[in-house]
Structure 1
């Protein structure tokens, strides 16, 4: 009598080869149970275990080890075939464990860390769920129903969270739930409890400020009498304009710019937002006009790796960066009030303004997408070749001039 864990190389499915626990009593008395699936190159045949590269490693590996331990127990024990079968295959023996929601959050967080992918939203939502279900420490994944989600949503709204915030929680929960469903060993019920409860919140209105409302930027006089505060207001206004001058890019991307991203008179980088996409998303390769270069010359820190070291690192100093962003937005709000603008400027404003001014100038959408790091989709764009730097740079210059209300002769 022999018990072992192996893969059936003679059988292949869309999920891979079955990982089986097998009890061999005789050629006519053989029992198998599938405990998962793997591609052959993720299986260490010599040691009968998964390699770490397996996408389900952190969940399936403990399952494989558990059955290997049972096989060893049978091999060294004096059991009858009936007793051996009960040890290996009796699902009612008390050895099985229901898949838990927060426990699977931890598994996915560990997997994301190993793959060098973003996992902060997983940690944040796990903490929110933990507070909601307290004093319980966890809930079964199969307990996540439409009713449970609806009760969660009503609770969070009552606590002051807006619909957009709740939907962001749901998106993370849904990602966890669907990933758990893919793990056949977890036995998660089919269906999608998020259907019908996931709603698209009303988008925030984009900022609408005309260029003449921003003319003060070249000669802004702070109202504060504190010299240090006045200098920071000037710097923050300059930072906002720098975001605009390089294509209306996010503060996080400006914060992560390194001196190596400057290639002669161009800035070349990939958006932080696309870090988990294939190849990190499209490459932004925009010209650095004099307006942008003057800000780099004034506030760039040559002895540091990052260009603007006065902005905390969004990756290694997340807390300090979040604090800086809040202070930056408060400063822009103060400037907006000072100049009696109809809407408050924010760190995100430049992206909308750049796009809006490009539209006012009837600049082709492909050029704006190239400048802002978006990928056009559709069959038509599959036949679109590259656009020269000269064409893109000319349009870029027009948008900057439009902000500055400079008339140019084409």
Structure 2
């Protein structure tokens, strides 16, 4: 471990023109300054010690020597234990500060949920609340951070499976638990010592791909479905088709799309989830859907009749989203049956279908990735997994034909 210790002055003086004295530790090119409770004039400090002009310079120099000796001993102890310590762990030891591992998990959950709610991140708050309820139901309300071990997580996984959860649902819970523990570490509620996710790997919970995307033939069936006898399904049909034509725009961004986002035959919006900017040409099928809602002349800034009034609170928006999305997905199941498509449709199928249909049509993965606003092509590849499998299956028939 490449670690060094040095006594330094702050780079800027306080209001009384005195400078704070720090113990500086540098490890692996990262550094932390720890205040020692000592102050002096800049001219009275040199080469890690106080000069004669500083009051009680002999006594306080002895303190500096003892501080530095203690710091070096802590580092040696860590090295002897083969502990690749963090700078926070060093500070805990140096200050004789013991992180409060007795903090109740439920209390910290509530703190994070409250912060997310007050900042308008209602969806995230609900996800943490659902995970809290599930985990507390399993471990009890008196569960402490020190109790969360890899063994406990394994048992929690078993409990979730007994209640009918698959890999996707279990991964959802574990990722939020991991995020909670990471926040607790960052806020110095606990240290990273015995971090349970070093052993328990969330990555093992990969969901089985359930062929979410439509094939080209299925898309044609859906496009031409007859809804003349089912007018109550037209809204859901419009949302689904618009989502595909608008490069896989997701439901939340479609819900928030405003008339002011449409300019010069293009749509400009920022994706809620990733904050990526989109600039999309409005092709004719999209324009037809936009015109359908434009003639309704509703008294709101939104294109689609999902948010029915302006100036809704984040909680009201979240509640409206949940209500409409549930109804939308239910109606998509009906549309799928009418179109004779043998797979359940949902709002998320539209985004997968956009990517897969373009891939079947010969568009490169890199272009699809850019169109979807993915930061990494590997993310796009998860959308195209079914395509890869079917393509490989076809290649295997060549062995049979030999």
Q: TM-score, normalised by structure 2?
A: 0.64
Are residue 310 (structure 1) and residue 315 (structure 2) matched?
Answer: no
Secondary structure at the aligned position of 1:285 is classed as: strand
Q: How many residues align?
A: 305
**Among 6, 11, 18, which residue is 2:34 paired with?**
18
Give matches, 1:3-402, under 5 Å: 8-9=21-22, 11=24, 14=30, 16-18=32-34, 27=59, 98-110=102-114, 112=116, 118-134=124-140, 137-184=141-188, 186-187=190-191, 189-193=193-197, 195-198=199-202, 199-207=204-212, 209-215=214-220, 217=222, 220-222=225-227, 230-274=230-274, 280=275, 282-300=276-294, 303-310=299-306, 315-316=314-315, 317-376=317-376
Secondary structure at the aligned position of 1:105 is classed as: helix
Report the Cα distance in structure 1 between the residues aligned to 2:113 and 2:322, rounded to whole angstroms: 22
RMSD in angstroms over aligned alpha carbons?
Answer: 3.8
Aligned-pair CA distance for 1:106: 3.3
Contact kept in structure 2, 1:251 and 1:347, CA below 8 Å? yes
Contact kept in structure 1, 2:101 and 2:144, CA below 8 Å? no
Contact kept in structure 2, 1:101 and 1:140, CA below 8 Å? yes
Aligned-pair CA distance for 1:371: 1.9
Q: 1:111 to 1:370 in 2, by over 3 A?
A: same
Q: 1:206 to 1:253 in 2, by over 3 A?
A: farther
Aligned-pair CA distance for 1:303: 2.6
CA deviation string 1:280-339 (max 9, x = no partner): 2x3111101121111112124553122113357895432332222122112111121123
Report the Cα distance in structure 1 between the residues aligned to 2:126 and 2:258, rounded to whole angstroms: 23
CA deviation string 1:157-198 (max 9, x = no partner): 112222221111111111222332344463452443452452
Contact kept in structure 1, 2:259 and 2:303, CA below 8 Å? yes
Q: 1:17 to 1:232 in 2, by over 3 A?
A: farther
Q: 1:174 to 1:8 in 2, by over 3 A?
A: farther
Aligned-pair CA distance for 1:376: 4.2
Secondary structure at the aligned position of 1:11 is classed as: strand
Report the Cα distance in structure 1 between the residues aligned to 2:192 and 2:116, rounded to whole angstroms: 21
Contact kept in structure 2, 1:267 and 1:284, CA below 8 Å? yes
Q: TM-score, normalised by structure 1?
A: 0.63
Report the Cα distance in structure 1 between the residues aligned to 2:273 and 2:155, rounded to whole angstroms: 31
Q: 1:334 to 1:20 in 2, by over 3 A?
A: farther
Report the Cα distance in structure 2 between the residues aligned to 1:260 and 1:322, rounded to whole angstroms: 25
Contact kept in structure 2, 1:181 and 1:189, CA below 8 Å? no
Contact kept in structure 2, 1:250 and 1:347, CA below 8 Å? yes
Q: 1:111 to 1:238 in 2, by over 3 A?
A: closer
Secondary structure at the aligned position of 1:131 is classed as: helix
Structure 1: stretches of 5+ with no match in the other structure: 1-5, 34-55, 57-88, 225-229, 275-279, 379-410
Q: 1:160 to 1:358 in 2, by over 3 A?
A: same
Aligned-pair CA distance for 1:207: 3.5
Report the Cα distance in structure 2 between the residues aligned to 1:211 and 1:91, rounded to whole angstroms: 62
Secondary structure at the aligned position of 1:343 is classed as: coil
Report the Cα distance in structure 1 between the residues aligned to 2:161 and 2:247, rounded to whole angstroms: 36
Secondary structure at the aligned position of 2:358 is classed as: helix
